[in-house]
Structure 1
Amino acid sequence: MPFPLRRARGAMRALRRLGRLARRLRGWVDVCRRRDTHSSAEEQLETKSKTKLQKKICQVVLSHFEKQYSKELGEVWNSISQVLSTPQCWQYAVLLNKFNFSSEVENDLRLKGYRLIFPETSSCFRQSLKCYISSSPGRFPAQKHRAGKLKEYYLLNAASVLAVLALEVENGEKVLDMCAAPGGKSIATLQYAWPGLLHCNEYDHLRSRWLKQTLESFIPESLMSLITVSQLDGRQIGNLQPEGFDKVLVDAPCSNDRSWLFCSDTQQATLRLAQRKALSAIQIQLLRSAIKALRPGGSLVYSTCTLSKVENSDVVTHILDSCSNVCPVDMSALASSASQEFTLASGVQQHELLVLPERGKAWGPMYVAKLKKM
C-alpha cells in the first residue's frame, strides 16, 4: 500500500478514536451536570421547604400571642413560643387500637424508643388504653382509612389523653362527647372503658363526616350499636336530653394555638383574632348545656387546646360562680402522675391542669378542668 494512503488511513483511525473519546467526555460532562443539577434541585427544595415553613408562621397571630401570653404566663412564654413556632420539635403519641391490636406495631414502637405514657403501676391509667410516646421529635407513619379494615393505631397529641383519663368513664355508663370531631377523644374513651352508650356530637357538617370516618376506622361494626352520632348544636343538647348522661366531655371550640399560629391567610387570622373574644361566651353556653345533660352525681370534663386564660380558667370560674348545682373535682392525683411526662403550669386550681409545651415534652397546649353536678 502506498505510503500516502497508509498515512491517510492512520489519520482517519486517529480521528475516529478522538471522536469516540470526545463523545465519552461529553457523556461524563453531562453526568456531572445532571448530578450538579440534581444536587442543586435538592438544595433548592430544602431551602424552599425551610422558607415555606418560615412563611407559615403568621406574624399577626404571633404578635397577638406575644402580647397576651407574656403577660399571662411570664418568662415561661419565651420557651413555649419557641416550641410552638418550631414544628420540627413537635412530638406525636401513638394510641393503639385494642379492637385491632398488633403486637408487631407495639414491638416496632419499643424498638424505636417509644414507651407507655404512664408506668403500668399508675392507679389512674387503665392498661386497656395503651398510648406510646417518645422523647424525640418525629411522627410515626400514619395509616390511611380503608373501608372494612380497622386501623391499628391513632396518632394524637398525648395531652389529649388527659381529658379522657380525667373523665374516668366506668363500664356501662352513658357518655356524651359534645364536640367530638375529629374523634380522637371518643376513640380513647372506647379504649379506656365499655360505655353503655357513647353519644358523639359534632355540629359542623364537614367535621361530622370526619368524625364518622374516624369511628368507622377504629371501632368494629359489632360495637357500633353502642355509639350514636349526631349533628346538633351542643348548646341545645341539655334541653333536648336533660339528665341523660353519667359523664360529659366538652372539648370546646377554642383559639387553637398551634393551628392559628400557622394560619397562611393573614386576613383570616385577623378575623379569627377579632372573633376570639366571643369564644368564651360560646364555651360558657356549652358548659351550661352539658350541666343540664348530666344526671345528678354525674361529672363533666371541660378541655381546650389553648393557653388563653379567658377561654380556660375564667370560663370555669364563671360557671362555678353562677351555677349552684356544680362543684369542682380535685385532680391532684392525675396531676401528680402526669407531671412525670408533661410540663404542667403552676398556680392553677386543684380541679385544673394546664399542659405547657416544652422541648422533649412538646405536648399541649391542653387545658383540662373537672366539675361534678350535685
Structure 2
Amino acid sequence: MNRKQMARLKKQVCRVVLDYFDKTYTNELGDQWQTVKEVLTTPGLWQYAVLLNNFQCSLETKKQLLLHGYQQLTHHTFPESLNCYINRNPGKFPSQRHQTGRIKGYYILNASSLLPVLALDVKHGESVLDMCAAPGGKSVTLLQCASPGHLHCNEPDIHRSRWLKETLESFVPASHMNAISTSELDGRLIGKAHANLYDKVLVDVPCSNDRSWLFSSDAEQAARRISERKILPAIQTGLLRSAIHALRPGGSVVYSTCTLSKAENSSVVSDVLNSCRDVLPVDLSDMANTLSHEFTFATHIPHGLLVLPHKGKAWGPMFVSKLIKL
C-alpha cells in the first residue's frame, strides 16, 4: 500500500456531511442507503479500474494486471477497442506520473465513469463536445472507443483546464491532437455560441461528489458545501439546456453526475424535459440489464441509471441519462 492510499485510509468522515446524507439519502434510497453508506465511508473498500491506452499499449502492463488479480471488463455491447481491467478486491494499481512528451500506458478510474461514454455511443468521424471535461478521464475513454472527427474539450475553471490539457498531453500523441480542441468557456453559453454544431455532447456536470464531500476537511467547509448544494441544480439545468442547443437535430446528449442526489439527477432531467419540447429521453434499461453482473443499479430511477456502490462492486455513485434531439 503506497503513501497516498495510507493517507486516504486515515481520512476522517465529516460528521456534518454524514448526518446530512443520512437524512437525505435515507429518504431517497430507503434501506439501500445503509449498504451504500458502508462503502462510501470506508476507503479501504474502494475499488479502481485500469483503462489501457490504445495509443501506448503495453503487453507488460497487461501481464502485471493479470498477476495482480485484474480481469478485463467485457461485454458484447462494448467497443472492441475498449480495454478496461477491474479487480474485485479493493486497492489501486500504481499510477503513472506525468512526463512531458511521454504517453502514459493506462488511466486509473472508477469503472462507473465508463458508463456515460458508453451511453453516448460515439461513432468514428462524429463531432463531439465534452462540455465539462476536466480532469479528462471521460475524454480519454471516449478516444479509446472511437476516433471523432472533432473532439471539443471544454473546462471553464482555469486550474482544472490546465489539468485537462495535461491529461490529454499524457494520453494522446501529438499526431492525433489536431482533431482535438480545448476551451475555457462557461458551458451555459456554448449552446448559443455553437448552436446545432455537434453530433454528440457529454455533460458530466459539476456536482456534490458524495465521496469527496464525506471527507471534507472541517465542519465549516462542510456546512458551506451543503449550503452551496442548493444552487447546483440550477447550474446543472443550464448546462444541460445549453448542451441541447449545441446538438444537431438527431444528435444525443448524455448527462451525468457522481452524486446520489435526486435534486441533481432525475429532477434536473425532468425539468429540462418539461421545458424543452425538442428532446426525448432514451431508455437505458438494456445497459443496466447487461451490466448488472458488475454494477449495482438503483431501481425506479426516472430518466436514467444510478450506480450504487456496494461491497465487491464499489463503483459509483454515478447517474447517467441520455436524451435525443428531435
TM-score interval, smaller chain: over 0.9
Give the partner amino acid of 2:119. A
Q: Secondary structure at the match of 1:159?
A: helix
Q: Secondary structure at the match of 2:192?
A: helix
The number of residue pairs the alignment matches comes to 322
8 Å CA contact retained: 1:92, 1:157: yes
1:4-153 aligned within 5 A: 53=9, 56-119=12-75, 122=76, 124-153=77-106
Measure how far apart 1:89 and its partner are: 0.6
2:285 to 324, 332, 338: 332
Write out per-residue CA displacement over residues 274-313 of structure 1, whole angstroms, 9 at most, x where no aligned residue.
0101000000000110000000000000000000000000
Can you give the 5+ residue segments of structure 1 that lack an aligned partner in the other structure? Answer: 1-45
Measure how far apart 1:335 and its partner are: 1.3
Q: Secondary structure at the match of 1:109?
A: helix
Measure how far apart 1:373 and its partner are: 0.4
Write out per-residue CA displacement over residues 218-266 of structure 1, whole angstroms, 9 at most, x where no aligned residue.
0000000000000000000001100110000000000000000001122
8 Å CA contact retained: 2:153, 2:183: yes
Q: Which structure's relative contact order is higher, taking Cα pairs within 8 Å and 6+ residues apart?
A: 2
Measure how far apart 1:336 and its partner are: 1.5
Partners of 1:55 and 1:138 lie apart in 2 by: 16
Give the partner amino acid of 2:296. T
Verify: 1:221 aligned to 2:177, yes or no.
no
Partners of 1:56 and 1:174 lie apart in 2 by: 44
Q: Structure 1 residue runs of 4+, over 3 Å off?
A: 52-55
Provide the residue aligned with 1:212 in structure 2. 165
Give the partner amino acid of 1:175. V
8 Å CA contact retained: 2:9, 2:44: no
Q: Secondary structure at the match of 1:56?
A: coil
Can you give the 5+ residue segments of structure 2 that lack an aligned partner in the other structure? Answer: none
Write out per-residue CA displacement over residues 96-151 of structure 1, whole angstroms, 9 at most, x where no aligned residue.
000000011012111221112224xx1x2012011110100000000000111100
8 Å CA contact retained: 1:174, 1:247: yes
1:211-250 aligned within 5 A: 211-250=164-203
Provide the residue aligned with 1:285 in structure 2. 238
Provide the residue aligned with 1:163 in structure 2. 116
Verify: 1:372 aligned to 2:324, yes or no.
yes
Provide the residue aligned with 1:4 in structure 2. none
Q: CA RMSD in A?
A: 1.4
Partners of 2:182 and 2:290 lie apart in 1 by: 33
Provide the residue aligned with 2:305 in structure 1. 353
8 Å CA contact retained: 2:131, 2:202: yes
Bigger radius of gyration, 1 or 2?
A: 1
Write out per-residue CA displacement over residues 150-190 of structure 1, whole angstroms, 9 at most, x where no aligned residue.
00000000000000000000000000000000000000000
Worse overlay, 201-210 or 262-271: 262-271
Provide the residue aligned with 2:155 in structure 1. 202
Structure 1 vs Structure 2: percent identity of aligned residues? 59
Measure how far apart 1:330 and its partner are: 1.5
Partners of 2:115 and 2:85 lie apart in 1 by: 14
Partners of 1:303 and 1:215 lie apart in 2 by: 21
Partners of 2:314 and 2:155 lie apart in 1 by: 28
Give the partner amino acid of 1:371. L
Verify: 1:187 aligned to 2:140, yes or no.
yes
Measure how far apart 1:60 and its partner are: 0.6
Give the partner amino acid of 1:131. C
Q: Secondary structure at the match of 2:111?
A: coil
Q: TM-score, normalization: structure 2?
A: 0.96
1:243-282 aligned within 5 A: 243-282=196-235
